Structure 1
């Protein structure tokens, strides 16, 4: 299965450490780098890609409107 890097939005130190621990519990390769704002961190995780496109959400669609 193909894997690509997913990067979270800049987060504070506590949130970054929590993300790293959750990914480590699932044995997912991660890296933490300093963002352009020195108070924030970027957390990246190497995640598997799905084989198919995501399904369209039809929760609020009614048959007579389509």
Structure 2
């Protein structure tokens, strides 16, 4: 299965450490790098990529609005 890097939005130190521990518990390779703003961190994880595109959300669609 193909894997790609997913990068979270900049987060503070506590959130970054929590994300890293959650990824480590699931045996997923993750890394933490300093963002452009030195108060925040970027957390990246190597996640499996799906074979198909995600389905379109039809929650608020109705036939008469189409």
Structures share fold, TM-score greater than 0.5 = yes
Q: Displacement of 1:64 after TM fit? A: 1.4
TM-score, length basis structure 2: 0.97
Unaligned runs of 5+ in 2: none
- In structure 2, what is the Cα distance between the partners aligned to 1:59 and 1:27? 34
Residue deviations 1:4-43 (CA, integer Å, cap 9, x gap)? 0000011000000000000001000001000111110000
Show the 5 A alignment for 1:1-66. Answer: 1-66=1-66
Looking at secondary structure, tell me which structure has more helix per residue: 2
RMSD (CA atoms): 0.5
Unaligned runs of 5+ in 1: none
Deviating above 2 A after TM superposition, structure 1's stretches of 4 or more consecutive aligned residues are none
- Tell me the number of residue pairs that the alignment of Structure 1 and Structure 2 aligns: 66
TM-score, length basis structure 1: 0.97
